[in-house]
Amino acid sequence: MESDVVAAIGPQSSGIAHVISHVVNELHVPLLSFGATDPTLSSMQYPYFLRTTPSDHFQMYAIADIVDYYGWREVIAIFVDDDYGRSGISVLGDALAKKRAKISYKAAFSPGDTESKINDLLVEVNLMESRVYVVHVNPDTGLNIFSVAKALNMMGSGYVWIATDWLPSYLDSKDAVDSNTMNILQGVIALRHYTPDTDLKKSFMSKWNTLKYKGSAGHAGFNSYALYAYDSVWLAAHALDGFLNEGGNLSFSYDPKLHDTNGSMLHLASLRVFNGGEQLLQTLLRMNFTGVSGQIQFDPDKHLVHPAYDVLNIVGTGTRRIGYWSNYSHLSVVPPESLYTKPPNISTGSQHLYSVIWPGDTTSTPRGWVFPNNGQPLRIAVPNRVGYKEFASKDKSPQGVRGYCIDVFEAAISLLPYAVPHTYMLYGDGKRNPSYNELVSRVAQNVYDAAVGDITIVTNRTKIVDFTQPYMESGLVVVAPVKEAKSNPWAFLKPFTAEMWLVTAMFFLFVGAVVWILEHRINSEFRGPPRRQLITICWFSFSTMFFSHRENTVSTLGRMLTSGIQGIDSLISSTEPIGIQDGSFALNYLVDELNIAQSRIVKLKNPEAYLRALKLGPKKGGVAAIVDELPYVELFLSNTNCLYRIVGPEFTKSGWGFLSLSFMVSGFPKGLPSCS
């Protein structure tokens, strides 16, 4: 660059691009890079850096979509420890987090590491639980990873290998790949830059193959980076043509900040700044034409529009395309350009890939994890309850806990086809029920691997942890006292109002009048039967009306036997205190969702406290009603001799589940698949 330069094309690697970008920024020379995919090479930091190939930012989001598509929740990243490797994996971590997944371990190696060091690295990761490996390395060392993995029997059934675009680029650049190389790659999923099969591309490839046949092009194959390099040259040519037509000048000036230093081999003083650099850069950003790699146009962030990838499955002697990924509609079996005319759809139901032949020559999707050989038993939190210990509580048995919830969990675990080492850890001081929201947060923070107990599945909790399917239905109900009604032989008359008695009297007068008229107008020999028939008809009509009204008022009489509380609506409209179970989500629900004043809420820690509060009532320091979940209420009512009852319907619908942050059954850390 000691000669006057107006544009630069290259380099092929991200590491060198970082260095050169500093230089071109000072000289105002646009850098068209067809091979530097490092996401940190941004236009914010390097204004004159223009990427003419998709950034690895998009590739990592494609991998996250693939991981989510197959239901995996943890991956191990194997990458080269340089700018290219570290930056790509950093973006992968962010992309997975948005899918409620994560990188459980980062296995980095230096570019010059021997196979012995790679062997040690893979032995280490093979001891961990995740069996989903993302390989983001350079082509010159990448095959060593798979060669060592093959020797360690890590390319068999149960393993998942996902390679970034370096692998298809390596394979495509070879005119023919030997069978030994293909043998060690069987079942691998890989991403390759998607380039539409346009007539221009077909014509270009035909010419290239002709050159190969004549020997002018050597024995090299052709990968996607070659297409982007070719288009970068044409981009520079089109932009320069436009720049000159717009009156741009190829003039340069010296920068006093650039001067030689003693002992340096760099002749900085000979470098000159391109005066038209900013104008040429803007011309480049306005370019829009079709190249052999597809549409060459930049978005406001200086990315090529429509980034997309082929999703490949390596089988047999080559690769098989199982779908596409585009930044527009994500995973699809339809070419991306056919979707650009439709509204974008990234819903779960719209994501599709063809079937895969996985390592070990199996079509069954791998589970993606095993219990680690060097791992510790799962840490399972159990609420140390004070009340309703029938569900979960401390115990003197070897496992340390007991209760219905524990029995359900142990029964589920026993049905699994593999062992699940676990240890129970009590959460709470045993003096009051623990806060279940805090318990859920501890699982989300990885203090515990899972939680088992009477834990309600509510929206704010599902945002940070995974739950199993509910193993018990639940919902909030209102419990209020029942007042005894004294026995009265005339109680059946209570449903009749004054208006009802008036209607009854008028009815009988009408019947009497009709009977009298008939008696005087019908012959005496027929007088008897018509009278009896008419009276029967009239009495049937009256009795139907009587009993119908009686049935409609039975429920009213029942409600009269309770206190003034008839359900959640009347409880909301009153000002009386409400009892809830200490530690329950009912507090937040009543206050935040139903706008009940928190000053009305009384926390009660066990069924005995429920009885005392209801017996005292609101006027003597107790409560008017209890709001709690149905399983607790049913257990409570079974021991109250019908003094209390549920009033009104359930006003929430939920369930109890085990939870987790990323592991397996409910109550496990988010990530690994459910065993429900």
Where residue 4 falls among pLDDT bands split at 50, 70, 90? confident
CB-based contact 189:62 (threshold 8 Å): no
Residues 6+ apart with CB under 8 A from 507: 538, 542
Rounded to whole angstroms, what are the CA distances from 673 to 365, 376, 435? 12, 19, 27
Residues 6+ apart with CB under 8 A from 638: none
Q: Is pLDDT larger for residue 111 or for residue 497?
A: 111
Q: Is pLDDT larger for residue 198 or for residue 1?
A: 198
Q: Over 50: is that where the pLDDT of 526 sits? A: no
Cα separation of 102 and 670, whole Å? 9
| Integer-rounded Cα radius of gyration of the chain | 39
403-416 confidence digits (pLDDT tens): 999 999 998 888 87
Where residue 1 falls among pLDDT bands split at 50, 70, 90? low
Q: How many CB atoms lie within 10 A of CB 483?
A: 10
658-670 confidence digits (pLDDT tens): 776 443 333 344 4
State the pLDDT at residue 178: 87
Where residue 268 falls among pLDDT bands split at 50, 70, 90? low
Q: Is pLDDT larger for residue 67 or for residue 421?
A: 67
Cα separation of 42 and 604, whole Å? 58
**H or E segment at 413?**
helix 404-414
Q: DSSP E strands: which ranges in 269-414? A: 272-274, 289-291, 294-296, 308-315, 318-326, 330-332, 378-383, 393-394, 401-402
Largest CA distance in the chain: 145
State the pLDDT at residue 264: 62
- Within the chain, which residue ranges are assigned CATH 3.40.190.10? 378-470
CB-based contact 422:380 (threshold 8 Å): yes
Where residue 605 falls among pLDDT bands split at 50, 70, 90? confident
**Strands 74-80 and 102-109, how do they pair?**
parallel
206-228 confidence digits (pLDDT tens): 888 777 666 655 556 788 999 99
> 561-653, which class in CATH?
alpha beta
Q: Over 50: is that where the pLDDT of 263 sits? A: yes
State the pLDDT at residue 459: 85
Rounded to whole angstroms, what are the CA distances from 448 to 392, 429, 466, 529, 599? 17, 17, 13, 86, 34
State the pLDDT at residue 493: 56
Residues 6+ apart with CB under 8 A from 621: none
Give the burial class of 19: count Cβ atoms within 10 A of its Cβ; 0-12 exposed, 13-18 middle, 19 or more buried.
exposed
Cα separation of 216 and 532, whole Å? 119
Cα separation of 445 and 462, whole Å? 14
State the pLDDT at residue 560: 44
Cα separation of 448 and 667, whole Å? 9
Mean pLDDT of the chain: 85
Residue range 343-355: mean pLDDT, rounded: 91
> 8-53+197-292, which class in CATH?
alpha beta
Where residue 674 falls among pLDDT bands split at 50, 70, 90? very low
115-166 confidence digits (pLDDT tens): 999 999 999 999 898 999 999 999 888 899 999 999 999 999 999 999 999 9
State the pLDDT at residue 559: 41
Q: How many CB atoms lie within 10 A of CB 351?
A: 19
The percent of residues above 90 in pLDDT, for the chain, comes to 52
CB-based contact 113:58 (threshold 8 Å): no
Residue range 292-318: mean pLDDT, rounded: 94
Rounded to whole angstroms, what are the CA distances from 555 to 76, 137, 552, 633? 63, 74, 7, 22
CATH for 378-470, options being 3.40.190.10, 1.20.840.10, 3.40.640.10, 3.40.50.720: 3.40.190.10
State the pLDDT at residue 672: 41
441-464 confidence digits (pLDDT tens): 999 888 998 999 999 888 888 888
Q: Is pLDDT larger for residue 75 or for residue 535?
A: 75
Domain 67-193+307-330 sits in CATH 3.90.1170.40 = no
* Cα 206-207-213 angle, rounded to 5 deg: 90
Residues 6+ apart with CB under 8 A from 345: 329
For residue 54, cis peptide bond before it (omega within 30 degrees of 0): no
CA nearest to 210, candidates 228, 290, 202: 202
State the pLDDT at residue 397: 86
- Within the chain, which residue ranges are assigned CATH 3.40.50.2300? 8-53+197-292, 67-193+307-330
Burial profile 211-249: b = 16 or more Cβ within 10 angstroms, e = fewer: ebeeeebeeebbbbbbbbbbbbeebbebbbeebeeeebe
Q: Is pLDDT larger for residue 672 or for residue 584?
A: 584
Contacts 24+ apart (CB under 8 A), 550-553: 550/492, 550/495, 553/494, 553/495
- pTM for the whole thing? 0.66
State the pLDDT at residue 29: 95
State the pLDDT at residue 241: 95
